[in-house]
């Protein structure tokens, strides 16, 4: 089959699997690799030490493809074959109401959802060509800079928040990539910067984590503090966490492209809020998490991206939220949590109780 026709059909199949965006990029050296490595070297990755691993694989998107070495397939194929990436975007509902859990984490784990769909596209490709096609699906778990690939595939540009923004869609979507040892027709890279002079994401960040346009210091980011950080949240940043139990959408919420184009989820979306989260305000959810045992945690968040944060971390976050937005009525659940076996939880609970006491004193 001619590459142009195959590319057209492959994109159509991606849309048939429910993806909202689909583009193709030819694999090769990564344009943003040096910038990424400088970001890591500056310490902006915080405790996410895995981001410094395998830098040589991140520098060239041909490296992670099974059967491919430096852009050439293995001996079994007996001939070089162009390597390509189908890059996809899957909307997770930026039009849904804001809340204590970031929108991306309210339903099923996006890794599972996107990987399953990409693998089905890969299987379709092999059936269509009636032969094996070396390749691999990636969703935020391998040595691949998907955002760079997405720009090269024409899907959008890097916003000042660092999020990839797609015209007519905004930034509330997951990225995934199917890397294949197969010649496809690449889309034109997205060359424009459509942020203009806007700085709303920088201005709105509750902890000042966007330290410059397109530079986020993860060590200050609420998403990092509530999801990736395994230790105590620095006291100076706890107030900035506000009422966010898990993750943060502020920089996306204020982006004009999202204000205009973000969409609500369809009723059957796997990313719709699960029962443990649906309809919960920050105080209610924080109280429930502080009272949760391990069995309840597993039942509530089975198959959820929220299991990235273990129960003690969620209790830490919940205590900070009650310290920020709680009332005297929340003192009871906090006092009971002082008996938690983890010092991490007890420290943040004590901080929250002090905050409630200070607020009570100011109102008397």
* Closest-CA residue to 6 (of 128, 121, 149, 120): 128
Question: Angle, nearest 10°, between helix axes 110-129 and 3-16?
Answer: 140
Q: Which one, of 81, 109, 85, lies nearest residue 177 by Cα?
A: 85
CA distance 206 to 221: 8
Angle between helix 294-301 and helix 311-325 axes, rounded to 10 deg: 90
Strand order across the 84-91 sheet = 21-26, 84-91, 173-180, 135-138
Q: Is 140 a catalytic residue?
A: yes
228, with CB counted inside 10 A (0-12, 13-18, 19+), is middle
Q: Which residues contact 69 (CB under 8 A, 6 or more apart)?
A: none
| Token digits of residue 280 | 């919960």
Residue 151, CA distances (Å) to 115, 131, 147, 192 in order: 20, 30, 6, 10
Given the residues 20, 140, 193, 253, the one annotated as active site: 140
DSSP three-state, residue 240: helix
d(CA 21, CA 15): 7
Give the distance from CA 132 to its chain's centroid. 31
At 244, list the tokens.
């966010």
DSSP 29-57: B-TTHHHHHHHHHTTTTTT-GGGGS-HHH
| 178 touches 135 (CB < 8 A) | yes
Rounded distance between C-alpha atoms, residue 87 and residue 14, angstroms? 9
Catalytic residue numbers read: 140
């Amino acid at each position: 089959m001619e590459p142009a026709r195959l590319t057209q059909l492959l994109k159509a199949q991606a849309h048939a699997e429910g993806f909202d965006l689909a583009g193709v990029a030819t694999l090769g050296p990564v344009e943003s690799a040096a910038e990424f490595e400088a970001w890591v070297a500056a310490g902006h990755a915080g405790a996410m030490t895995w981001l410094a691993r395998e830098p040589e694989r991140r520098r060239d998107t041909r490296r992670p493809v099974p059967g491919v070495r430096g852009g050439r397939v293995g001996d079994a194929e007996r001939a070089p074959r162009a390597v390509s990436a189908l890059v996809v975007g899957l909307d997770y509902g930026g039009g849904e109401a804001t809340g204590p859990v970031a929108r991306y984490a309210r339903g099923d784990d996006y890794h599972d959802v996107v990987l399953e769909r990409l693998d089905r596209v890969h299987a379709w490709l092999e059936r269509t060509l009636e032969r094996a096609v070396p390749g691999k699906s990636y969703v935020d778990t391998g040595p691949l800079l998907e955002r760079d690939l997405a720009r090269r595939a024409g899907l959008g540009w890097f916003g000042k928040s660092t999020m990839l923004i797609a015209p007519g869609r905004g930034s509330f979507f997951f990225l995934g990539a199917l890397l294949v040892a197969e010649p496809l027709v690449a889309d034109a890279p997205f060359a424009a910067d459509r942020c203009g002079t806007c700085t709303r994401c920088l201005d709105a960040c509750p902890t000042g984590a966007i330290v410059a346009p397109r530079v986020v210091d993860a060590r200050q980011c609420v998403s990092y503090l509530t999801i990736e950080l395994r230790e105590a949240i620095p006291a100076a940043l706890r107030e900035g966490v506000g009422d966010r139990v898990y993750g943060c959408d502020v920089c996306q919420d204020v982006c004009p492209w999202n204000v205009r184009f973000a969409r609500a989820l369809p009723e059957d979306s796997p990313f719709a809020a699960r029962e443990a989260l649906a309809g919960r305000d920050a105080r209610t959810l924080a109280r429930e998490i502080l009272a949760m045992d391990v069995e309840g945690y597993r039942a509530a968040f089975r198959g959820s991206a929220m299991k990235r944060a273990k129960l003690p971390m969620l209790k830490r976050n919940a205590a900070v939220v009650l310290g920020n937005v709680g009332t005297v009525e929340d003192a009871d659940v906090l006092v009971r949590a002082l008996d938690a076996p983890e010092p991490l939880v007890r420290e943040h609970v004590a901080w929250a109780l002090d905050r409630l006491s200070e607020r009570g004193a100011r109102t008397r």
